Amino acid sequence: MAIAIAESEMLRINVRDAEHEAFVRKLLARAPAERIEYHCIPTNEPWCRDHGPIFVTKKQAPRLAMIDFGYNAWGWKYPPFDDDDAVPGNIAGALGIKHFDYSHFVLEGGSIDLNGAGALITTEACLLNPNRNPELNRAEIEELLKESLGVKKIIWLGDGIEGDDTDGHVDDMTRFVGPSTVVTAIEEDESDPNYYLLEENYSRLEAVQLAKDEPLEILKLPMPSRIVRDGQRLPASYANFYIANEAVLLPVFGETNDAWAESVLRGVFPKRKIVSIDCRELIWGLGAFHCLTQQQPAV
């Protein structure tokens, strides 16, 4: 993953200390060293998408800024999380970037997906879960999303996929791939618990209009076959891809639907190389490439 990202963009990695940095440098000996920076910012978990900052751009200079949302380890599931909660402020300091404090609002980056043109997709299962912001109702959450991220339209899906310990992150199901286009996961096996919930989410997407008489273009993305380890269903999904400058990193799972997923993304991103990487071990950590990364926009 690191090598594929560093081929076309700067990769910044948080490490705990100098000893940890030396260890990671050895692992990445084949990566282009000039495109990798190390920052001594300790973390409790590797999932930068969720505990890291969300970068935004402004019309006036300095154009790049970041939002520091609150973080409570997906509803207090995995304490301690003090280091993770401090990551956005530490990154802001390391990069010299202004950050806006929204620590009173618990929000993980994987729980939302945006089109860059005023629309945001999320799930009721996650954002309305009382283990995040029990004092806020739907309208108040929508207002905070609009205020902090500059969006105008909130698209609500329902439940998340089976095995997802985040209570239903949208980045395992539905992703914007253009201002008015999404790819969304479908399950063909009617006996699978994901079948009906993904059908329900698909129906919700069909009813969306971004502007008057402008429906979403919806492209179907398959689900991989059920993966169970130590009696636990793992949240394997092709939707957890990362979009790099010149490539798309696609998690694959050593099965026939891998080729179908590759074909869908190849059609969506004709100017980017689709880099498929086996994630059968990584998914045991309950996440994949999108969960591990947080993009910083060019300004």
> How confident is the model at residue 21, as a pLDDT?
97
Q: pLDDT tens digit string along 34-90?
A: 999 999 999 999 999 999 999 999 888 899 999 999 999 999 999 999 999 999 999
Instruction: Report CA Rg, the chain.
Output: 19
Q: Nearest to residue 183, comparing CAs of 245, 111, 269, 125?
A: 269
Q: Contacts from 261-269 at CB under 8 Å and sequence distance 24+?
A: 261/221, 261/222, 261/224, 264/183, 264/219, 264/220, 264/221, 264/222, 264/238, 265/183, 265/238, 265/241, 267/219, 268/177, 268/178, 268/181, 268/183, 268/219, 269/177, 269/243
Q: Is residue 287 over pLDDT 90?
A: yes
Q: Is residue 213 over pLDDT 90?
A: no
Q: DSSP state, 58?
A: -
Q: How far is CA 287 from the centre of its chain?
A: 9
The answer to whether the predicted template modeling score (pTM) of the entire model surpasses 0.75 is yes
Q: Is residue 211 over pLDDT 90?
A: no
Q: Is residue 282 over pLDDT 90?
A: yes
Q: What is the DSSP string of 197-254?
A: HHHHHHHHHHT-EEETTEEPEEEEEEPPPP-EETTEE----TT--EE-SSEEEEEE-S
Query: Active site includes 291?
Result: yes
Q: Which residues contact 93 (CB under 8 A, 6 or more apart)?
A: none
CATH number of the domain at 41-292, please? 3.75.10.10
Domain ranges of the chain: 1-40, 41-292
> How confident is the model at residue 214, as a pLDDT?
84
Q: Average pLDDT of 118-132?
A: 98
Q: Which residues contact 28 (CB under 8 A, 6 or more apart)?
A: 2, 3, 36
Q: pLDDT tens digit string along 226-259?
A: 999 999 999 999 999 999 999 999 999 999 999 9
> How confident is the model at residue 212, as a pLDDT?
78
> How confident is the model at residue 156, as a pLDDT?
98
Compute the mean pLDDT over every residue in the chain, rounded to the nearest whole number. 97
Q: Is residue 99 over pLDDT 90?
A: yes
> How confident is the model at residue 299, as a pLDDT?
83
Out of 48, 126, 279, 291, the active site residue is 291
* 8 Å CB contact between 223 and 186: yes
